[in-house]
Amino acid sequence: MNIHKFVMPEVIFGNGSIHQVGESCLRLGATNVLIVSDPGVTEAGWLDVVIKSCRQVGLKYTTFCDVTINPKDEEVKKGCEAYLENECDAIIGIGGGSSIDAAKAVAILATNGGQIHEYEGVDKIQLPLPPQVMVPTTAGSGSEVSQFSVIVNTKEKKKMTIISRSLIPDIAIIDPETLSTKSAHLTASTGLDVLTHGIEAYVSLAATPLTDVQAQNAISLVGKYLRPSVASKINQEAKTNMAMASLQAGLAFSNAILGAVHAMSHAVGGRYPLLHGDINSILLPHVMEFNLLANPKKFADIACFLGMDTRGMSYMEAGRKTIEYVKQLAEDIGVPQRLSDIGVKQEEIRKMSLVAFHDACMITNPRDITVEEIEGIFRKAW
């Protein structure tokens, strides 16, 4: 009999739930919190909402808002210094995947010490982390419910994947209203990230019935609601359903892990200050084409989740239709189509292929892959 493990935080979901941040921290025993965020979230006004919630329940707080796109080891170090200097005892992360990943990394150093590089890989964290409450403002990364933190090693120009049960936040607060301040491009980019999470988790070698149902729901919701969410900032039905898709995709990949798209995307993101979702959107159909042979049935399933009629088709035929659907979706919502369009240099493909080959996400890719094959996929996508 197979044994499956599924881990997740407490989840609070719904419009207005962001106002429960302060009370949630109190329930975890916090008295003095470090709020980790970024300039975009600050400008949108969501940091002020979190601060007000903390003040209302009497929490002391310090803000650290120097997180940039693809959070870096130096930023994590500065965040930890702010945590220790102000004698904080809990962490709030608010923003996209960058802010939340940075908040998790700060939590690691705050109690375990050392350098963040020492924790790259699986289960390197030894001591308990401080209480963590995470508030996503993009329907994308799923980091608020995952056991991942991805941080750029600035010296080696690569993204470090840190995986540990300790990184699952205590409470995740998902408020769809925060999505109303995102641009159409960011909505599209993060939405393709959600789809990538759902697809990679569904075909992962570590997928289970528990992760499959989450991935299936996430893929279906993206198919129905990403286009209208990109089209309108005030379409509350679309925003709510994309927030749910992101949540469910996050739960799926946190437990099933990912695959070659993310391994390769991490290699690109470590060298270029690009949106993670933009890189994923370019690589996803090419990796799907490579992986189709490994599990045609599951790729045919994805076609059904996306609402396609596959009657009379073989699994391979339906799988190819799925790949065409993903390409058309990316074109419809206006995300980049090629790596060359976003500034990736062809001469760096070999280096990035070597980095991707050793990424932890590659372990659960459904098809065996060589460095040369990774390089070939990169060149197709370039």
Q: Tell me the domains of the chain and their CATH numbers.
A: 10-178 (3.40.50.1970), 182-381 (1.20.1090.10)
| Mean of pLDDT values over 360-367 | 96
User: Mutual orientation of helices 184-203 and 260-269 as an angle, nearest 10°?
Assistant: 140
Q: Which residues have C-beta within 8 Å of that of residue 104, sequence separation ≥ 6?
A: 93, 132, 143, 149, 162, 167, 169
Average pLDDT, the chain: 96
**pLDDT score at 104:** 98
> What is 268-336 written as a DSSP string?
HHTTS---HHHHHHHHHHHHHHHHGGG-HHHHHHHHHHTT---TT--HHHHHHHHHHHHHHHHHHHT--
Q: How confident is the model at residue 2 (pLDDT cuts 50, 70, 90)?
A: confident
Give the start-end residues of each E strand in the chain: 10-13, 32-36, 60-64, 90-95, 121-122, 132-136, 148-153, 158-163, 171-174
Place of tokens 């209480």: 131
Give Cα 233 to chain centroid, integer Å.
21
- pLDDT digit string (tens) for 21-40? 999 999 999 999 999 999 99
Distance of alpha carbon 318 from alpha carbon 339, whole angstroms = 27
Task: Count other C-beta atoms under 10 Å from residue 27's C-beta.
Answer: 15
Whether residue 3 has pLDDT greater than 90: no
CA quadruple 303, 305, 311, 316: dihedral, nearest 10 = 30
**pLDDT score at 292:** 98
| Residue 265: exposure state from Cβ atoms within 10 A (0-12, 13-18, ≥19) | buried
- pLDDT digit string (tens) for 126-177? 999 999 999 999 998 899 999 999 999 999 999 999 999 999 999 999 999 9
Percent of the chain with pLDDT over 90: 97
Q: How confident is the model at residue 1 (pLDDT cuts 50, 70, 90)?
A: low
**pLDDT score at 305:** 98
- pLDDT digit string (tens) for 325-354? 999 999 999 999 999 999 999 999 999 999
**pLDDT score at 61:** 98
- pLDDT digit string (tens) for 174-223? 999 999 999 999 999 999 999 999 999 999 999 999 999 999 999 999 99
Name the pTM for this structure.
Answer: 0.95
- In one-letter notation, the amino acid at residue 69 is I
Task: Count other C-beta atoms under 10 Å from residue 355's C-beta.
Answer: 21
Of the candidates 222, 137, 225, 218, the one whose C-alpha atom is nearest the C-alpha of residue 175 is 137
Distance of alpha carbon 16 from alpha carbon 27, whole angstroms = 18
Whether residue 225 has pLDDT greater than 70: yes
